Chains A and B, each alone.
Chain A
């Protein structure tokens, strides 16, 4: 039975901390999302996202700090936003559902939001189905 494969890039200061807080509070969420911790969402390149899709990811989730001022490195989240915005346009133009790529701002205190986003996104990907390829 197909299970969605989702790679998440969480920045260690905000979304990553929120994910840990969710753990400490024993909040349960969909296990389809595998987290990779990055120092900042600004570190996430479009190549990393596409590499994930090419290697079997059905969805990619990026969790960072709230704009405008929460980013530990000042404006890395804006870089991530701009790149992902452009990448989503590219995907859409190519006929790949841009909903498969989602970027969210989740502060370290928003464990509830993290759980919601992970569950929502897993459901979205379930609905969209596998991206395709031999992994499907």
Chain B
């Protein structure tokens, strides 16, 4: 037992000499010594020497907080040939000498704290580190900008990647955007090279029309099952000629253009789609076979079946992105009823030269030129009736929309109804100012209470309140664009399979909001992009790179070493009651031949099972029930 003075930090309040005296009376203690600074070089050497000279088989260090020097002394102990698990450290500084003035009481407390450590140590055993092989492969779920970035970052480090995307192409929502703020880069121009790189990269395997059906296993060895829905077109043979599309008789709303126009049952979402091929929408295809007749390369196969891919990966990145909050829920704005009340992504499509209006400012209902446009921010967001949180990007893209509109329609009028304007990124404030001052976009602080169509004029009438002028305001517009809130696109099934935590909105929960923003509570499962919370493109990219880097931490090493202080089962005592299995937060306990067995990879050593077991069969290593009881006895009865 070694007691540190820590200068006067401990010794000024705690009578260290008396502590040493009392420690020598404790069961098993054959040596007790105090020293002025145990963490110093001579202090450490002292410990090592005594261990060797007296052939100690256990050490208790009573000093400052273990959070400071636990590792320091662990290395000393190991260096002297003793297991680090036969060493305990307790704070008699932060938890004692620094918080008490009564020296008698502080000394008494120090003795008791040490007695508990001595009692615990008596039951401590050495265990070898748990070494687990890691499969050097990464699964990225979601092929938007976040997924693409994570895949490329990992692949560039030499890690094979499976990129799984549920739509027929990668690219995500970013592919739908016309330009991005604040630089007004053409979204497709900066995205498609990345998409092409992903397609080209020898280490990345893209699975589109694919979803993760099941995940079992744990960090380093996740067994994944992916279901790939039939494309109906052989990717290698499709030449993108489009003959099939021309003859297809079926028309359905085009989801890439958010329903603003139609597509055929055989289609390509956008020309730069990756994989570069058409796809058959089997839900609507009538199997008339006309496309088969005209395809020059016989690339179409309407009898294609879904495939199941099974593989093992070492880590997973969730990059499932976002959807817009259903606009119809904000019923006063008539979204879904009035065609000229649209959402921000629909407006992106109108802005886009590849969109339904070829980039012309014409409104959906009658094609009337848009001269007066109203943007409403915070639709569904920051609203106790809908989403209480802020969706972060809407202020910026609304400013962008208004700016772009004014560029194309210089004599047009643009109004923005806002509650606040949040422009916190680099160049963001300046960008908004540009929209307001240079482009003359009218910003109105206030909310809109009603939107309706004037049957006679065809105007979309917006009734709102201008808070700064303190009066009602009515605008007769051609088009209204709602900045709908961002909601996560992940489905509950995947959340359950991965056993990750999500918040009440279904955003994936990170382990620690400040210090560990890309890790989930499940080791080996990371999150990036809008799946974790509303964010813009640069933030998604930064987070994806971080997630890939964290994944690489364990994938590149080839193995992970885990602290062996986990639970273990005495199979003779276990009766298979399943109570521990039912409460383990990590699903780390399974039944084997009727008795519980702990999965070394998954157990995190919390001890909930140990306290719950009705017969004491499962015990947390080095914190077993007998040890805990002895610690309590020691604290109370040592003197």
Does the CB pair A42–B606 fall under 8 Å? Answer: yes
Q: Tell whether, in the assembled complex, residue A79 and residue B583 are in contact, meaning their CB atoms are under 8 Å apart.
A: yes
A48→B606 contact, CB < 8 A: no
Report A-chain residues with C-beta under 8 Å of the C-beta of B620: 39, 43
Q: Is B195 an interface residue (CB 8 A)?
A: no
Which residues of chain A have C-beta atoms less than 8 A from B501's C-beta? 69, 74
A63 CB contacts on chain B under 8 angstroms: none
Tell me if B57 counts as interface (CB < 8 A to partner A).
no
How many residues does chain B have at the interface if contact means C-beta atoms less than 8 Å apart? Answer: 45
Contact partner of A55 among B99, B604, B623, B637, CB < 8 A? B637
- A68 CB to nearest chain B CB (Å): 10
Q: Mark B335-358, 1 if CB is under 8 A from A, else 0.
A: 000000000000000000000000
Q: A20-B67, A73-B585 are in contact. Are A36 and B610 (CB under 8 A)?
A: no
In angstroms, Cα B102 to Cα A25, docked, is 17
**Knowing A35-B113, A76-B608 touch, does A26 contact B98 (C-beta < 8 A)?**
yes
Q: Which residue of chain A has the shortest Cβ distance to B120 in the bound complex?
A: A36
For B503, B607, B632, B636, the residue with the greatest tally of chain A CB atoms inside 10 Å of its CB is: B632
Chain B residues with CB under 8 Å of A31's CB are 100, 102, 105-106, 108-109
Q: How far is the CA of A39 from the CA of B102 in the complex (A)?
A: 29
Residue contact B99 to A22, C-beta cutoff 8 Å: yes
B-contacting residues, A1-54, CB 8 Å: 5, 7, 17, 19-20, 22-24, 26-29, 31, 34-36, 38-40, 42-45, 47-48, 51-52
Chain A contact residue count (CB 8 A cutoff) = 39
Q: Are A42 and B611 in contact (CB under 8 A)?
A: yes
Which A residues from 61 to 80 make CB contacts under 8 A with B?
Answer: 69, 72-76, 79
Bound CA–CA A19/B583 (angstroms)? 28
Main secondary structure of the interface of B (DSSP, over half): helix
The CA-CA distance from A36 to B330 in the complex, in Å, is: 53
Residues of B within 8 A of A52 (CB): 632, 636
Which of B99, B586, B628 is in CB contact (< 8 Å) with A27?
Answer: B99
User: How distant is A112 from chain B, measured CB to nearest CB, in Å?
Assistant: 13
A83 on the interface (CB 8 Å rule)?
yes
Interchain CB contact under 8 A, B99 and A5:
no
Cα of A133 to Cα of B431 in the assembled complex, Å: 75
Contact with A along B199-235 (1 / 0, CB 8 A): 0000000000000000000000000000000000000
One of A26, A36, A57, A79 near B608 (C-beta < 8 A): A79
Q: Known: A23-B93, A34-B113, A73-B604. Is A83-B611 also a contact (CB below 8 A)?
A: yes
In the complex, A57 Cα to B67 Cα: how many Å? 28
Binding site for B on A (CB under 8 A): 5, 7, 17, 19-20, 22-24, 26-29, 31, 34-36, 38-40, 42-45, 47-48, 51-52, 55-57, 69, 72-76, 79, 83, 135
Residues of B near any A CB (own CB < 8 A)? 65, 67, 91, 93-96, 98-102, 105-106, 108-109, 112-113, 116, 501, 503, 509, 521, 583, 585-586, 604-608, 610-612, 620, 623, 625, 628-629, 631-633, 635-637
**Residue contacts A-B, CB under 8 angstroms, 9 given:** A19-B95, A27-B99, A28-B100, A29-B99, A39-B607, A43-B628, A48-B611, A76-B606, A76-B608
